[in-house]
Amino acid sequence: MIRTEDVTDVTDVTEETFEAEVLESALPVLVQFTADWCGPCRQLAPVLREIAREEAGRIRIVQLDVDREPGITIRYGVLATPTLMVFRAGEPVKSIVGARPKRRLLQEVEDVLAPVAPPT
């Protein structure tokens, strides 16, 4: 799995944890379908970490290794890496193939982010 130091904001998911971490999440979840050998996935990793920290109350970000978890990869029709799939209420609602700069990626997922809670 693609790892760099200080990664606490992006969770790894497996066949065993996918349902609890993704399908049952109260927040929308962006799943990065990734692989150790995927160059664009490595380029995308710092972007996703930043988004995970900045948008923590609006979206969760997890990663799934396509080589270690082929069942989920096949189930959702993932044919290329990186594929980013956003799940909301247990259903895939958006799929994006390929790396993106942070600003563009945020624009592409804005419509599926949870609303910002008003200050109390």
Query: Where in the sequence numbering do the catalytic residues fall?
Result: 38, 41
The 3-state DSSP class for residue 30 equals strand
Between strands 60-65 and 10-12, the pairing is: parallel
DSSP E strands, the chain: 10-12, 29-34, 60-65, 83-88, 91-97
Identify whether the C-beta of residue 33 lies closer than 8 Å to the C-beta of residue 66: yes
Q: What are phi and psi of 72, to 5 degrees?
A: -70, -40
